[in-house]
């Protein structure tokens, strides 16, 4: 670990503590590129009535907006806790190079933030999941995929 990694992690942890005092959840994240903080995020789920307003997602949205790109290759995220499944997916979709985290998912589970049920659900066949999944109009939906597939000037991501 380099000294700047320690500094950025301490910054993410400080954001998580500050956010508690401001009525949010105990999570903070910082995105860094070339040694500079590009974006920060804190958990605002209950404040914004938005279940996707996790620290990592908020930081990713801010970084993409600031850099005017959906590709955060070359960036590192420092997050006060190991990312949940949603945030992990967002990190992969954003092409972030590296993740440093403070607390792990067991620490989160111990204070009531248990994501294991999502991992368990992903292992189940669709027809066995708690949320009902029903495929509807696949013959119509596929037309959009066919249109995308034949588009010559598409921007792939």
Q: Which residues are catalytic?
A: 56
Q: Residues of 115-146 as b/e, b for ≥16 C-beta within 10 angstroms? A: beeeeeeeeeeeeeeeeeeeeeeeeeeeeeee
Q: Can you give the length of the chain in residues? A: 157
CB distance 54 to 21 below 8 Å: no
Collect all residues with Cβ–Cβ distance below 8 Å to 86 and sequence separation of at least 6: 52, 54, 57, 118
CB distance 82 to 104 below 8 Å: yes
Interatomic CA distance for residues 71 and 81, integer angstroms: 23
Collect all residues with Cβ–Cβ distance below 8 Å to 90 and sequence separation of at least 6: 56, 57, 60
């Amino acid at each position: 670990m380099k000294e700047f990694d320690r500094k950025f992690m301490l910054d993410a942890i400080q954001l998580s503590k500050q956010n508690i005092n401001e009525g949010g959840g105990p999570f903070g994240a910082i995105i860094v590129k070339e040694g500079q903080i590009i974006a920060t995020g804190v958990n605002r789920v209950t404040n914004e009535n938005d279940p996707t307003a996790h620290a990592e997602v908020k930081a990713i949205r801010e970084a993409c907006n600031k850099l005017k790109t959906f590709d955060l290759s070359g960036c590192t995220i420092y997050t006060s806790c190991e990312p949940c499944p949603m945030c992990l997916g967002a990190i992969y979709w954003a092409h972030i190079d590296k993740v440093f985290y403070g607390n792990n998912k067991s620490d989160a589970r111990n204070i009531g933030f248990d994501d294991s049920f999502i991992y368990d659900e992903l292992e189940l066949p669709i027809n066995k999941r708690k949320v009902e999944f029903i495929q509807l109009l696949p013959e119509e939906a596929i037309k959009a995929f066919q249109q995308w597939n034949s588009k010559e000037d598409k921007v792939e991501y």
